[in-house]
Structure 1
Amino acid sequence: MTDSAASPIDRPSFGIALILVGMLAISINDMLIKQLSGGYPLHQMVFTRSAIGIAFGLVIVQFEGGWQILKTRRPGLHAFRGLLVVIANMSYFAALAVLPLADATALFFAAPLFITLMSIPVLKEKVGPFRLGAVLVGFIGVVIMQRPWASPEDLGVSRLVLVLPVVSAITYAGMQIMTRKLGMSSKPSALAVYIQTMFLLVAGLFWIFAGDGRFAEGTDNESLIFLLRAWVWPEGVDLWLFIGLGFNSAAVAYCLSAAYRSADAAIIAPFEYTGLLLAVFWGWAIWGEIPGLEVKIGIVLIMGSGLFVFLRERQRNRPLASDPPRGTGATRR
């Protein structure tokens, strides 16, 4: 079987349940990676979780049609889409090693705003003043969280680290727009396998060229150290956390893919914002992180503007720019 549109599915309650499980899994994934970031390189975590995730995904492939569903007429498209997801992941997690969990997550959630803007030149969509106004409000929230008026000493991190989650949001938005424009359709398990394969390839290249940690020597940038430090075999509890990352990654890829196949994105997408609330909870529960005033304002503005865009489009009964065709279910994690 090559890429082909699945039969229309309309199970909104099931889709909402799947997206909630997926967002819980994403928040646990972020929490585990931040917890392990002080002793292991990011590419080792990505390789380990993807190796376990792809094994789990291949099992699900058998239930969704067998090996033939992995065949595709568009290998280049799948590779490029997977590469964008990898960049979105790497930039986000590099920031997560340094930033509080809620800060990094809130900045990433500017992605729907970028999707709306990109839909104008790429998809030729007409975006009215209400949606543009909501996007502007959301970007004001991003700027407030960036605190351009603060000195480097007051920020506590470099400007580059603060920009990384925004780079992740832009990359993720570009992947969603590309998916929508090309009308790609595949089974959720096949999409999960494609993405996990790209993660394995990129993480493997990192190991070949930087696995001994030589590029991390002589730098005090915590994000770069997280990307480039030497591989260390996990022991004790850490070993189980690595295994948990793998199974959690498989759950994320499948749940989000299946959710967007089960109902329209106009119904499903707003529930992704539960991930932002969960990030605030994990940051407080594990590291005692309480968002500052700028972060709280940014969260409210970004979350409010994103929800307005979704609800506005649903009210007008128009497809969202960020609505992937049934069966794509793209995810940043």
Structure 2
Amino acid sequence: MTLLAKISPHADERTSRLAGIALMLLSVFMFSCGDATGKFIVSTYSVGQLLCLRACAALCVLAPMIWRQRRTFAQLERPRLQLVRIVLSTLEVAAFFLATAYLPLADVVTYYLACPIFVTALSAIVLREHVGWRRWSAILIGFMGVLIALRPSAQSFSWPALIALCGSLSFAVLMLITRSLRATPDIVLATLQFVGTLLLGAVLAPIGWVTPSPKSLVLFATAGVISVCALLCVNRSLKLASASIVVPYQYSMIIWAVIFGIVVFGDVPSLATIIGAAIIIGAGLYIFLRERSLGREEAAVSPPV
């Protein structure tokens, strides 16, 4: 019994870590499925319809949790900053799916992988946080990866790529704001994001409205349910294991983006995209490890909700 008592805590801790990693990998897979579903939808329907119907389905799933924590919605910290966060989150989700209508999924995800690099750079410029030469070097290398993936030439540079990059920058600012709203419950933050996309979708959906078929309605609902389930898995993962253990596994989203791109859409990623993604991931992981060594655990990147 004494021996078991000594071993058990370590075994439980190891089990929690493994469960956290498994849930993070599952959430990334589900987010990737949701992204692929959204890309498939916007090939027929408008981004406004996707945002509106997807958010409706997500809010229906969240309704029981919203009801249980309804009192927390009346006590929001820093309401103006919450509003800015809603606007940014709504615009970056719209930018993500608008870009996927014109670009391969792997390309769009690659630009979003640069988010931790943008966050670190903005933390130094906007928040005046100290960033040493090592992380500045990683930031510059990461930007080189973005440029390689972006292929900025007169022949290849396009406005969808610019939209995806702007979406990634918006997501970086969103993360900085979320960092300062840590006291707000996760369910409140997620709900407000879905409400924002619902409102924007409701405004844009009538433009070029196409009446969905029953099968398409199932796809819209599936996209919303997947996004909520993936979000819950991420939250649970971070409760079972520390961010330093599970966050690096979020970069596996590029693998799924490539697989879904090839299998579902027939999009073979270019060599520039692969090289750029590899450089961005390397720089992002270095920044993350450096943050951990300084005692600051930050989420690397999460796909749009």
TM-score by length of 1: 0.80
Residues in 1 aligned to 2:249 and 2:21: alpha-carbon distance in whole angstroms: 7
Q: Does 1:270 align with 2:248?
A: yes
Distance in 1 of aligned mates of 2:75 and 2:121: 30
Report deviation, 1:78.
2.2
Pairwise CA RMSD: 2.3
Shift, 1:236, TM fit: 4.2
Unaligned residue ranges in structure 2 (runs of 5+): 1-12
Q: Is the 8 A contact 1:56 1:247 kept in 2?
A: yes
Secondary structure, aligned partner of 2:296: coil
2:6 matched to which residue of 1? none
Q: 1:129 aligns with which of 128, 133, 138?
A: 133
**What are the equivalent positions in structure 2 for 1:186-201 lying under 5 Å apart?**
186-201=184-199
In the TM superposition, residue 123 of structure 1 has moved relative to its aligned partner by: 3.3
Deviation at 1:259, TM superposition (A): 3.6
Does 2:35 correspond to 1:35? no
Letter in 1 for 2:25: L
1:137-167 deviation line (CA, Å, top 9, x unaligned): 111111111222x433xx2xx5211111111
- SS of match in other structure, 1:245: helix
What whole-Å deviation, never above 9, does each CA across 1:179-237 have from its counterpart, x for those lacking one? 22x24323322222111111111212223xxx1x3xxxxxxxxxxxxxxxx12121143
Q: Identity over the aligned pairs, expressed in percent?
A: 28
Q: CA deviation at 1:48?
A: 0.5
Contact 2:95 2:163 in 1 (8 A): yes
Question: Match of 1:52?
Answer: 57
Residue correspondence of structure 1 range 95-134 to structure 2 within 5 A: 95-134=99-138
From 73, 76, 79, give the equivalent of 1:73.
Answer: 76
Aligned 8 A contact 1:141 1:297 in 2 = yes
Asked if the contact 2:27–2:233 (Cα under 8 Å) also holds between the matched residues in 1, the reply is yes
Shift in Å at residue 317 of structure 1?
4.3
Deviations 1:61-103 (A, max 9, x none): 35xx442233323333222212111111111111111111111
Counterpart amino acid of 1:151? A
Give the aligned partner of residue 6 of structure 1: none
Alignment partners' CA distance in 2, 1:124 and 1:56: 40
Q: Is 1:161 matched up with 2:154?
A: no
- Name the structure where helix makes up a greater proportion of residues: 2
Q: Look up the equivalent residue of 1:35 and give its one-letter code.
A: F
The alignment's TM-score, normalised by the length of structure 2, stands at 0.87
Between Structure 1 and Structure 2, how many residues are aligned? 290
What amino acid sits opposite 2:295 in the alignment? Answer: R
Q: How much has 1:125 moved relative to structure 2?
A: 2.1
For 1:25, the equivalent position in structure 2 comes to 30
Per-residue CA deviations over 1:249-291 (Å, capped at 9, x if unaligned) read: 2223333344445544333321210111110111111122221
Q: Runs of 5+ in structure 1 lacking a partner?
A: 1-9, 214-229
**What letter corresponds to residue 98 of structure 2 in structure 1?**
A
Query: In the alignment, what sits opposite 2:9?
Result: none
